[in-house]
Structure 1
């Protein structure tokens, strides 16, 4: 039986495989405990230190879910919570050095994959694929949110 998957099937499969590759690279580099959903929080914290409420709103999850995620990241040492100078009842969240190191490791893992794809298909075809994927993200309503690092965390 010859299966000819659609581009959407291929994107879905590739997304999961890329995520697994990046998580493995993080584990190999000693960044234990990280999961794909943590990356969405990291991306948002790269924009600016912020509160749990703002993170939850930006990533379209409940405050309770975000509080749980932040507690994990603080326990692992990837995020620090400090008192907000404007309101001591509120905590400001920021990436630690370990969190920034994990971001750089994940970026390098993705760069190496993109370099391998570029070698396999050439720059022009890679750029055409990028255009198609940007159109897919726009169709799904998240294309404009990539640049602001506020793509919602996918449901698990």
Structure 2
């Protein structure tokens, strides 16, 4: 294939995400989309408010609220009162949401078996060359 690295990385990533979603749908996580993963990454270790989530995602509060509503309807997220100020609502993963995280990690590990270390190193070098490493480390990757 005669494709530049950025295009090839994008296409390979999109194809991998499609394969992961198919497997997740097959094991009972129907309705989950790639964009939901951007939200869930901020709920794994935290319980942000809608406005905090919007800031983390780099989107409006309305866009963050829409994503949370979708995840609530699917049973992956619940909004709960803040422990200090009950007027404030925070988003948390439900038990079903935690299972989604576990299942997604398992499916991704299986996919990693098909990759090779040289390809992974090349993609890391690309992230380094484009200044994206710190954003990935801080989970500050904007929603696609």
TM over 0.5: yes
> Does the CA contact (< 8 Å) of 1:21 and 1:109 recur in 2?
no
The answer to whether 1:59 aligns with 2:44 is no
CA–CA distance in structure 2, aligned partners of residues 133 and 5 of structure 1: 15
Unaligned regions of 5+ residues in structure 2, if any?
none
Cα shift at 1:86:
2.0
TM-score of the two chains, using structure 1 as the length reference: 0.85
1:86-143 Cα shifts (integer Å, max 9, x gaps): 222211111111111111111112111111223xxxxxxx1x3323212322444432
Q: Which residue of structure 2 lines up, in the alignment, with residue 122 of structure 1? A: none
The answer as to whether partners of 1:79 and 1:93 remain within 8 angstroms in 2 is yes
**Matches for 1:6-155 after TM superposition, within 5 Å:** 6-118=4-116, 126=117, 128-154=118-144
Q: 1:141 to 1:61 in 2, by over 3 A?
A: farther
What secondary structure sits across from 2:123 in the alignment? Answer: helix
Higher relative contact order (CA 8 A, sep 6+): 1
Aligned residues: 144
Query: Structure 1: which 5+ runs fail to align?
Result: 119-125
- SS of 1:92's partner is strand
State the Cα deviation string for residues 38-91 of structure 1 (Å, max 9, x = none): 001111111211111111101101100000110111111100111112222211
Larger radius of gyration: 1
- RMSD between superposed Cα atoms in Å: 1.5
Q: TM-score, normalised by structure 2?
A: 0.91
Q: Distance in 1 between matches of 2:44 and 2:90?
A: 13
